[in-house]
Amino acid sequence: MRQLSAWLAANTPLEPEVNKFVELFAQERMRLLGDKTIEHYVARLQRDPQEAMYLHQHLAPPETWLFRYVAAFEVLREHILKRDRSQVIQVASLGCATGSEPFSIAATALSCGLTAQHIHILALDYSDDHLAVTKTGRASALAQRTPIPTWAAPWLHPTTQGQLELDAGGMVMIELTRGDLSIWKPDRAFDFVFCRNVAIYLNEATKKRLGKLLCEITKPNGLVFLGHADSIILADTDMRRSEVDHAFVFARSDKPSESMKLDMATRALMPLVTPSAPKMKPGVSVAKTLSARTAATPSPAPAPIMTLLTKAQISADSGNLVEAEKALLAHLAVEPLGIEAHVLFGCVQMAQNKFTEAERSFTKVVYLDPLNSLSLLSLGALADLRGDVKGAQRFRERAARTVEKQS
Ligand SMILES: C[S@@+](CC[C@H](N)C(=O)[O-])C[C@H]1O[C@@H](n2cnc3c(N)ncnc32)[C@H](O)[C@@H]1O
């Protein structure tokens, strides 16, 4: 497989080390295409851009889901609410895969009362196929792994095929573009740049370039959002990670900015993803909320308290399902009727292939909240797995009807 490594190094921005997974993929393609030796397959990669794209898609898969690292979208929301609306907010979703990330950004913007006149979201990916899926505006059942924040749910409409479809008002905020981050140069600067879980697939030179690029294209008071394993790419820049837990957000400063600190203290008073999270109206000043409180209480701002539910959400987002399950069981022991917790518990069970337990959780949710579309869609997916086609269809139709009832 040395030839394949050499080809990757010379022709792609990807990490060229060939592992067992890549080897198996190449062998399978050789078998299907009738290439007798690896040299033949490498020659095919050289002459056939479609096959090269196919390999790229397998080496850097479109693994993504709605509201991945939900804390990042809470931070985005706080910042959007504070922004001056006379200027268009520029956002980039670099390595947008099949769209869940730009959809989550758009739903966040809609929840703040923004329209396409206020915000523009550039969604870029290397793969035409991923962009074609993004263009549908629909996130599949696979992209619904963790609960949608209650403030975003009204802008994601369940379809009868089990997807969640971004509201048309959100789709018009998004511009799709094909690009390769190893050579891409944008024509503008951005207020918020998302480049999450892309660098991990790239070779060292491209990672270095990308870190520099992210820094250059982010406005002085802008933010960069990365994946949990990507931080290293900003090490040589003046962007520093904020103290907001689990958001993986970076700002241009040695220390977290004053506004970040205010956010942290405000967040300590505001649970991340609970149905009871106080809704922040556009125009509400975070600083004002905090100073009103600190005026009454002169003691230092409290350290952020991480609720068990938040801990569970973060663990689930990072793929630590056992930790998520533990935190949820502890949370549900105190709050047995917590709808968000039951939904997340169902998702965590599904992700572990514990389908009976998942079904029990989602059934409980639908009993407590008959309009809970994520649970109805999940029950549809579980019915599918049992081969119960009619049952699955019924759940999907119920999920689709929740949109009419809620609107
Ligand atoms: C794991 S997905 C991340 C999706 C999303 N950002 C998230 O965190 O949920 C990685 C995406 O990066 C894209 N990608 C990989 N290399 C790229 C490159 N050189 N230029 C642009 N996109 C690239 C892949 O096509 C894939 O869709």
What is the 64 CA–ligand 1 centroid distance (Å)?
9
Residue 340, pLDDT > 90, answer: no
Which of 66, 91, 198 maximizes ligand 1 atoms within 8 Å of its Cβ, making it the mutation to test the pocket? 198
Is it the case that residue 154 has pLDDT exceeding 90?
A: yes
Contact 121, 91 (CB under 8 A): yes
Region 164-174: mean pLDDT is 98
pLDDT digits (tens, 9 = 90+) for 69-111: 999 999 999 999 999 889 999 999 999 999 999 999 999 999 9
pLDDT of residue 289: 28
33 near 26, Cβ under 8 Å?
A: no
- Return the residue whose CA atom lies nearest to atom 14 of ligand 1: 95
pTM: 0.74
CA 251 – CA 78 distance, rounded (Å): 15
- Write out pLDDT tens, residues 201-223: 999 999 999 999 999 999 999 99
Q: Sign of torsion, CA 67 221 236 97?
A: positive
Cβ of residue 198 lying under 6 Å from some atom of ligand 1: yes
Q: How far apart are alpha carbons 197 and 276 in whole angstroms?
A: 31
What share of the chain has pLDDT > 70, as a percent? 85
Asked which of 2-6, 151-155, 266-270, 336-340 is least confident by mean pLDDT, the reply is 266-270
pLDDT at 256: 47
Q: Please report which confidence band the pLDDT of residue 6 belongs to, taking 50, 70 and 90 as the band edges.
A: very high
Domains belonging to the chain, first-starting first, are 2-59 (no CATH), 70-260 (3.40.50.150), 308-406 (1.25.40.10)
Average pLDDT, the chain: 84
Whether residue 291 is predicted with pLDDT greater than 90 in this model: the reply is no
pLDDT band at 277 (very low <50, low <70, confident <90, very high): very low
